[in-house]
């Protein structure tokens, strides 16, 4: 059904995938930036997700930050879907060089992907703000380690902060340069599950100089006219069928 995409995959061993929230929603992780996410934040907290997930709000009202964060951004039962699995398989075949993601759930690694640039960080990594001690997600979510919703370091009592890029915070240099280098060197760039409006997606795509740009998204995007192939369908279904066809 997606023969054209299968042909593009067959013809390259230097593919990069750039993914957005749509990749995670198929694992039942809702997009907090969606209309429903916006509504729920406003009605439950009287604020927008952007306000609550800002650095200044984290400092000002750490308790409410973690209340919102733990109840709206953490899905401990989420499993990789067909999109994550197909991309891991493409990497194993030596065709895919990197996944660049705006998602923070760690599902690409869980599916087996090795080279993953997480532009917005990961909920799986957390560090004490005072002594730097590393903590996993289980620690962060365990009420026994928390004062209210706020996770505390068992060594020094400092606040444990997720390695997630908050609004007003800079992206991590290592993740940015890795992503830019991979995109700049790629022969095929597949963009999936993003409308390309969320910062900094569009900027990253501008580094692409390769031969085939593929867009997979349920709805149309601002870059559809620039792409060599546009598929308006569910990302998991498309990637699974295209990779299975190899």
Catalytic residue positions, numbered? 120
Which among 49, 73, 52 is positioned nearest to 63, based on CA atoms?
A: 52
Interface with Zn ion, residue 127, by CB under 5 A = no
Interface with Zn ion, residue 246, by CB under 5 A = no
Q: Which residue in the set 1, 59, 93, 156 belongs to the binding site for Zn ion (CB under 5 A)?
A: 156
| CA-to-CA dists, residue 142 to 139, 145, 207, angstroms | 5, 6, 42
Local structure of 36: helix, strand or coil? helix
Largest CA distance in the chain: 57
Tokens read off for 43: 């009605």
Query: Minimum Å distance from CB 121 to Zn ion?
Result: 19
Interface with Zn ion, residue 129, by CB under 5 A = no
Local structure of 143: helix, strand or coil? helix
Q: Which residue in the set 40, 130, 195, 211 belongs to the binding site for Zn ion (CB under 5 A)?
A: 130
Interface with Zn ion, residue 53, by CB under 5 A = no
**Residue (59 or 93) nearer to Zn ion, CB:** 59
Q: Which residue in the set 98, 111, 128, 216 belongs to the binding site for Zn ion (CB under 5 A)?
A: 128
Q: Which residue in the set 5, 86, 116, 153 belongs to the binding site for Zn ion (CB under 5 A)?
A: 153
Q: How far is it, in rounded angstroms, from Cα 144 to Cα 122?
A: 22
**Residue (128 or 183) nearer to Zn ion, CB:** 128
Interface with Zn ion, residue 131, by CB under 5 A = yes
Neighbouring residues of 130: CB distance < 8 A, sequence distance ≥ 6: 153, 156, 157, 158, 159
| CA-to-CA dists, residue 164 to 58, 89, 197, angstroms | 12, 27, 20
**Residue (30 or 158) nearer to Zn ion, CB:** 158
Interface with Zn ion, residue 160, by CB under 5 A = no
Interface with Zn ion, residue 133, by CB under 5 A = yes
Tokens read off for 169: 């915070």
Size of the site for Zn ion (CB under 5 A): 8
Task: Give the residues lining the site for Zn ion (CB under 5 A).
Answer: 128, 130-131, 133, 153, 155-156, 158
């Amino acid at each position: 059904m997606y023969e054209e995409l299968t042909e593009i995959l067959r013809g390259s061993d230097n593919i990069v995938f750039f993914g957005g929230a749509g990749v995670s929603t198929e694992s039942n992780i809702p997009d907090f930036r969606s209309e429903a996410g916006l509504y729920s934040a406003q009605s439950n907290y009287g604020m927008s997700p952007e306000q609550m997930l800002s650095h200044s709000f984290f400092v000002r009202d750490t308790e409410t930050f973690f209340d919102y964060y733990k109840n709206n951004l953490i899905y401990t039962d989420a499993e990789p879907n067909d999109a994550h699995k197909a991309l891991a398989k493409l990497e194993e075949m030596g065709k895919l060089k990197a996944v660049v993601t705006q998602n923070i759930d760690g599902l690409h690694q869980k599916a087996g992907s090795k080279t993953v640039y997480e532009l917005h960080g990961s909920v799986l990594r957390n560090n004490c703000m005072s002594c730097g001690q590393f903590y996993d997600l289980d620690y962060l979510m365990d009420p026994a380690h928390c004062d209210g919703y706020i996770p505390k370091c068992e060594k020094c009592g400092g606040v444990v902060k997720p390695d997630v890029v908050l609004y007003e915070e800079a992206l991590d240099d290592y993740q940015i340069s890795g992503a830019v280098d991979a995109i700049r060197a790629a022969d095929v760039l597949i963009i999936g599950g993003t409308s390309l409006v969320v910062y900094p997606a569009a900027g990253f795509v501008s580094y692409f100089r390769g031969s085939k740009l593929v867009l997979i998204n349920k709805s149309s995007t601002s870059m559809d006219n620039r792409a060599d192939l546009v598929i308006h369908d569910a990302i998991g279904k498309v990637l699974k069928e295209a990779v299975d066809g190899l």
